[in-house]
Structure 1
Amino acid sequence: MSHSLSDLSQSLLDAARAAGADSADVILREGSSISIDMRAGTLEHAERAEGIEAGLRVFMGQRQACVSGSDIRPETFAMMAERAVAMAREAPEDPWIGLADPAQLSARRNAEGLELHDPAPEPAPEELQEDARRAEAAALAHEGISQVQSASAGYGASEAFIATSNGFAGGYRRSSRSLSCVAIAGTGNGMERDYDGDARVFQSDLRSPEEIGNRAATRTLERMGAVAPKTGSYPVLFDERVAASLIGHLCGAVNGAAVARGSSFLMNALGELVLPESLTMTEDPLRPRGPASRPFDAEGLTVAPRRIIDAGVLTGWTLDLATARKLGMTPTGNAARGLSSPPSPSNWNLELTQGSASREELMRDMGTGLLVTSLIGQTINSNTGDYSRGAAGFWIENGEAVRPVNECTIAGNLRQMLLSLNPANDAQAWRGSVVPSLLVEGMTIAGA
């Protein structure tokens, strides 16, 4: 990186003090990214982006305001600080905002040992183009694949630095490498498509272009001839690649911001069973090479592994400083932040207990029902947990997939759905949400 983010952060904090702020915090991000799209064997799109951005939050008593910019000149920092202070003076008071107590600040100030940045050289555009080309060629080699909608490869590297006026200063670097392919088969109303992709911190962990292209093609061809399933109440098995969405709804319900607003279907469930007793859900922000790992949160607080749900019992909420104060609890080190917005609670590297059975064994046990491999749209009532989503996948009879299905809706109530979860053993350990295929008993399916 060509700038010292540490020096720049102190300059912006100095500007905030000079403008009259009582206190302030700063986040700076500098990085670059490359993305390549291939289609029909030729380069369709190539993009490279580089830049540095700064976000400033100032406090005037119990009022706050956030501003951001991409110009790091001293006069720009001064203007940002003056505008932020002027905005804060007009903002409504919030009794819960404010910087952390110095005793709450993390002693860890860098990402040493977390392996968040690949030391390998940045790949040349030609390397990314070749990876995308190979993935597309692998998909097109399958008889029945008429075209590849997109084959994309990308790389990104960034550095982030956070500083506060009460003494915190820390930063870390992060890298990412991705590859994906979307294949299409059939024509007109009989057209189907599916995909495969991979995203890793380290290039060496990325699956091969051939594997990604082949899997995208195979999944697409398996979907040919899809029809609407029967309407009724049946067990539904959420495939591993969509099962994390259920856990996402659970995480939304235990998010402190939702609880503080009174808009969580689990707001009165603290200390109660919300999952079967055999299941525990943890998060680990310190997992090496984890896509959501970090050495500290966006408010400079300590992060650590924790059990959100222990043996089925909800143990606590996901909290940043403000929501913790509002709820009278201790913050959990889960603050995330954009450049122009205040912090809010978020989760890092979730993992749900796996079962002992394979996905195929769960299909055998469910007898007749629906295997869901993709979801579209959603109607989720955050207060009641009522759940309804469009779905596609495969109809199961006598424990085996007999035909692909689409154009159906699955519905239920998340509180009951979560309590009936039966996990498979196929979770992918490298994902941000390590969640296996999940069987839910007795959902309503609206189809033909």
Structure 2
Amino acid sequence: MERVNDIVRNDDSRERLDRLAEISQRLLARAKALGASQAEVSCSEERGLNVSVRMGEVETVESTRDRGIAVTVYFGQRKGSASTADLHESSLEATVEQACAIARHTEDDVAAGLAEAALMARPLADGTFPDLDTWHPWRLDADEAIDLALACEAAGREADARVSNSDGASLGSGQSLSVYANSHGFIGRERETQHSLGVALIAGQGEGMQRDGWYSIGLARGDLEAPAAIGRRAAERAAARLAPRSVPTGAYPVLFAAEVARSLIGHLLGAVSGGALYRRASFLLDSAGTRLFPEWLSIDERPLLRHGLRSTAFDADGVATADNPLVVGGVLQRYVLGSYSARKLGLRTTANAGGVHNLEVSSNAGTLEDMLRGMGRGLLVTELMGQGVNGVTGDYSRGAAGFWIEDGTAAYAVDGLTVAGNLRDMFARVEAVGSQPDPRSHIRTGPILVGEMTVAGVD
């Protein structure tokens, strides 16, 4: 308790936020004085400590302090932006002037401008926004960080005699402060911490070596798995990949482990994002209101989730966020839009300027082990490689590694495979989503079973 109280007493984050807010107000006033019809300012400050070790030796210790000020002005529907990291008054003044000069020489953009004033998030009576429990500073010094990283690596190296080498362990702890303000009178302050610890290990010898790892991430120190547990998990994963085989090319059920399953949802998000849609570069054009997934599957966005990895009361335009379904009963309910992309499409913003916030995918199955037993025979994918996804056509082809499943259990490790299909077909063929999501992402999904995909191996 004494250490926690010490952290609270020495936490000057609110004073630093106040300083950033005061800077934003000065910049907005200056933009107005120079003739801008609208303006917005984003201010950020980040601090962090990162260490890495390898084979019991310290490799790097890095302390970071970064800040940035970005100013965007509008002269009617002409837009100009400029940024600086220098807080001296002369530099701030020059940044606003540069943004204004750029705007005067650009052409009108009918979608340009701030989000509508009526959509701005409303603060509480004291001028703050709801506490979403995202601020957990860790008073971590370099010595403690090094000790934790070393302990993580040592636990992994000692867990299995087949672990022959290490790619190293790393620990990072950071905090970020941000202020967004605009000429509607909106000003929003946010503060967030994030901490991580992970290790990558090598098992086997010579050409038979296999690499894998594990990591933990969270907003608070207490969210992290224990260093020894992370190390042991990494060793287990690396050793399990030894002596891989291939499989004959064919059509098989493919179960994506939770840590890679979220990439499938990421492809969905890319296809329904405003930028891809107004550029006509998406395989899901004009798909709102159509069925993409089985009837039992839903995806919900929960931006106000306490202690969520991507929780916020307002988006990057200052628009108020709220719980908002993306998929209900397998049907796509909406797109993912900020104010600019919404105007380009003739639609309304979904408060997603800057991205999505805490997506949760519904489940209809149990644990990974339950899903393996239910699948019986097929491919469990634990790693994906390459970028073979065409966002315009939905064609999907990626390198994969994992395990071949026979009679509901892992028969042997596999790699050198390619899994292929079309994302629209893959979404429709989702047969199950597991009940144990990977907590290390703002996209929370359990393992995803696709009933059939082409798996290309060595015949």
TM-score by length of 2: 0.92
User: In the alignment, does 2:162 pair up with 1:131?
Assistant: no
Q: Residue 29 of structure 2: which of 14, 22, 42 is its match? A: 14
In structure 1, the residue matched to 2:4 is none
Looking at structure 1, the residues matched to 180 and 73 of structure 2 have their Cα atoms a distance apart, in angstroms, of 14
Alpha-carbon shift at residue 38 of structure 1 (Å):
0.9
Alignment-derived partner of residue 9 in structure 2: none
Q: Is the CA contact (8 Å cut-off) linking 1:16 and 1:78 kept in structure 2? A: no
For residues 383-425 of structure 1, the C-alpha deviation after alignment (integer angstroms, 9 at most, x for no partner) is 2211011110001122221110111111001011011112122
1:19-418 equivalences in 2 (<5 Å): 19-108=34-123, 110-118=128-136, 120-141=137-158, 142-336=160-354, 346-418=355-427
The Cα of 1:430 is off from its aligned counterpart by: 6.1
Q: Structure 1 residue runs of 4+, over 6 Å off?
A: none
> Could you tell me how far 1:228 is from its partner in structure 2?
2.3
1:242 is paired with a residue whose SS is: helix
Please say which of residues 255-264 and 173-182 is displaced more in the overlay.
Answer: 255-264
Distance of 1:76 and 1:302 partners within structure 2: 32
- Structure 1, unmatched stretches of 5+, are 337-345
Greater CA drift, 256-265 or 138-147: 256-265
Structure 2 unaligned regions, length at least 5: 1-12
Shift of 1:92: 3.0
Change (3 A) 1:125 1:111: farther
In structure 2, C-alpha distance between the alignment counterparts of 1:121 and 1:309, rounded to whole Å: 37
Give 1:100 deviation, angstroms.
Answer: 2.1
- Measured after TM superposition, the shift of residue 187 of structure 1 is 2.7
Question: 1:290 touches 1:431 (CA, 8 Å); kept in 2?
Answer: no
Q: CA deviation at 1:206?
A: 1.0
User: Distance in 2 between the 1:430 and 1:69 partners?
Assistant: 32
What SS class does the counterpart of residue 380 from structure 1 fall into? coil
Is this contact kept in 1: 2:434–2:445, CA < 8 A?
Answer: no
Cα distance in 1 for partners of 2:336, 2:250 equals 36
Q: Deviations over 1:162-198 (max 9, x none)?
A: 1101211110111111101101112332110101001
- Calculate the aligned-residue CA RMSD, in Å: 1.4
SS in 2 for 1:275: coil
The letter for the 1-side match of 2:115 is A
Aligned length: 438
Matched-pair contact (CA < 8 Å) for 2:377–2:405: yes
Aligned residue identity for 1:406: D
CA displacement 1:295-354 (0-9 Å, x = unmatched) = 211111100111000111111111111111222222111111xxxxxxxxx111111001
| Identity between Structure 1 and Structure 2 (%) | 38
Distance 1:189 1:295 in 2: 51
Q: Deviations over 1:244-269 (max 9, x none)?
A: 00010111111122111111211122
Q: Write out per-residue CA displacement over residues 213-268 of structure 1, whole angstroms, 9 at most, x where no aligned residue.
A: 00000000000011222211111100011000001011111112211111121112
The structure-2 alpha-carbon separation of the partners of 1:188 and 1:321, relative to structure 1 and needing over 3 Å to count, comes to same
* 1:91 shift after superposition: 2.1
Write the mapping of 1:430-445 to structure 2, written as runs, cut at 5 A.
431-445=441-455
Q: Provide the C-alpha distance between the structure 2 equivalents of 1:431 and 1:76, rounded to a whole number of angstroms.
A: 37
Q: Is the 8 A contact 1:373 1:392 kept in 2?
A: yes
Q: 1:193 to 1:431 in 2, by over 3 A?
A: same
Q: 1:236, 1:205 → 2: CA distance?
A: 31
* Cα distance in 2 for residues equivalent to 1:242 and 1:356: 17
